[in-house]
Structure 1
């Protein structure tokens, strides 16, 4: 079956060398908002990087002009984590750092805090047509000893069910220094996952659960180290969390569940062997009325390729392949519900490189369920 697709972003166009790190949400009006990082001079993860947006009024078939939502001078504004509130307001969490603050330098403690990863927030009350000035929330969102930090990337949540309905939950990750203070420039002790929570529509924030290299073995010393995390609310109000695993282990994904709105985890992150694939970001989305939990990500065992939708009928305990999107190179992705019958997938792909385009694909719900 042929699925409708469009290409909102193509590398080497509109003033940007590369577009990466997609995130997509559906506004209350029905407009789709597709956020990415616009990388000015190279495809590298640091340097001059803007947060840009394209909007679609026809469910992803065509896209409007590029808008620059956030610019950090010659530095980086990235890791978009948008969420649509019940009021219609769209919040966009993001991180910022200096242009020369590479991930390795930040992790090793070679970057002063003012130039390192800091967390900012913007909002739009007109479906993304215009945006508020950015507001920094680093003091509420990041512990002083954390070094690397990333929001999402991908859509965040406003919980809809149970006693925590209305709460905002933004999956995020961090790293910490080595345990030996004499070895301050060494590799960080671990990657850790955590959640940012707000109970007042984003006016104030706090840190919810935190988890790190929570499961160790005698060969590696650590086997679970959650990194880029995606979240989905299940029908009973619990939150399913799935993360990229940075530990040296055979499995590349780990998952966990929270039953108190992201304050704590029922158990630490543990391996999820049902989602085989390379070390890469992925996206989770629960279909609600259809009863299925979806996950998007490359399914090739070692390469960023073979973008695939997988589905679970038991809250993420077991998974099966539902739809192979394509056999081409592919990397980061984000899922969005378009209507009762269709989901949308915004993902990195290309004929010979996963980073040639950001493509949008419409997929009937019947197939991935």
Structure 2
């Protein structure tokens, strides 16, 4: 009886291993969502965010930079919606507008689903590139720093921006860039239900966490730059733009930009065992197989397979590639070339049991394009 019991179990395990390791991804649909100097008062679209909400809709976000492609300057935050897995998309809606007289405007952030209250939380910054402690946005003085807008109907309507420093004085005036990408809500202990959104500060990489469903946020101890004094130079340890995922044992894994090419032209990876409170230095590693030209990449945990996307080139933002790991990020032996030419930031999300989605900057940021990727034929 024991042999009869274990034999089917062995076959099931073997089948699962085979099906994951034999993935054969292919792009089955591409749709350009935004174009440089296209219709409307926008010079360039940048910083793609993509998320699937519980209704199944896909929401795509970008910075609509009004007068130039620079990080600073006036912007809209643009959004488009797909109700059919990325096959068709609604027209662009502008959900934020920092007006016209602002010297430094709004920048994306992270988008996070709070599942207990069915709320969508978009964290963004305001005026973090400007030397003044506040910026004029056309309606009065708004403090520099972190803000959030929320939606209780999955993006059809949005709240006014809330300054996170008003709810936690320790966040007032900080220079911190969330993501860009998506935040997560922990499914497992420790700290089940916690919201986690990671990003880059002046002195290192940090995560914002919320244990009250996104009402208030605080910052963890992070991973500090080395050195902490003086002008940073090539070869210094500076973790940059970052994406966090949760593994099935409750561990948080982050994959970050290696801003000053410390050790290699590759990605930084780190683990947290306490819900994002700390990332111990012994758990900080360098993924030499994930060659990277210092750019924002994306990471997705899809049924315990980790997918990672970036321009797979040590020196230039070209050769957008999808990598995947079947051993919780220990190795990334599998990869698939998406776009061999110019490519920049990207963001991954799930669609269904056999498809994932990617939003990326294409052809030297001429377009922001959506891809529907089939994992197996």
Which TM bucket (shorter chain)? 0.7 to 0.9
Match of 1:201 among 213, 220, 230: 213
Match of 1:113 among 108, 118, 133: 133
Aligned ranges 1:44-193 → 2 under 5 Å: 44-74=70-100, 75=102, 76-86=105-115, 87-97=117-127, 103=129, 106=130, 111-115=131-135, 117-138=144-165, 140=168, 146=174, 148-175=175-202, 190=203, 192-193=204-205
Match of 2:39 among 14, 28, 32: 14
- Is the Cα contact below 8 Å between 2:125 and 2:147 reproduced in 1? yes
Report deviation, 1:160.
1.0
Report deviation, 1:80.
3.1
Match of 2:69 among 15, 31, 43: 43
Cα distance in 2 between the residues matched to 1:169 and 1:156: 6
The structure in which a higher percent of residues are strand is: 2
Tell me whether 1:210 sits opposite 2:218 in the alignment: no
Task: Give the alignment's Cα RMSD to 1 decimal.
Answer: 2.2
Q: 1:165 to 1:366 in 2, by over 3 A?
A: farther
Which residue number corresponds to residue 3 of structure 2? none
Cα distance in 2 between the residues matched to 1:162 and 1:10: 43
Match of 2:309 among 296, 319, 338: 296
Report deviation, 1:172.
1.2
Cα distance in 2 between the residues matched to 1:362 and 1:142: 41
CA displacement 1:33-79 (0-9 Å, x = unmatched)? 10100011111111111211111111111111111111222331112
Flag structure 1 segments of 5+ consecutive residues without an equivalent: 176-189
Report deviation, 1:252.
3.6
Which residue number corresponds to residue 229 of structure 1? 242
Tell me whether 1:255 sits opposite 2:282 in the alignment: no
TM-score for both structures, normalised by structure 2? 0.83
CA displacement 1:301-347 (0-9 Å, x = unmatched)? 21101111111122212112321111121000000000111100000
Cα distance in 1 between the residues matched to 2:38 and 2:80: 14
Flag structure 2 segments of 5+ consecutive residues without an equivalent: 1-25, 136-142
Q: 1:141 to 1:229 in 2, by over 3 A?
A: farther
TM-score for both structures, normalised by structure 1? 0.85
Cα distance in 1 between the residues matched to 2:68 and 2:173: 30
Report deviation, 1:114.
2.1
Which residue number corresponds to residue 372 of structure 2? 362
Report deviation, 1:144.
6.3
Report deviation, 1:129.
0.9
Report deviation, 1:215.
8.0
SS at match of 2:118: coil
Tell me whether 1:326 sits opposite 2:339 in the alignment: yes
Cα distance in 1 between the residues matched to 2:369 and 2:171: 36
Cα distance in 2 between the residues matched to 1:2 and 1:311: 15
Cα distance in 2 between the residues matched to 1:125 and 1:145: 28
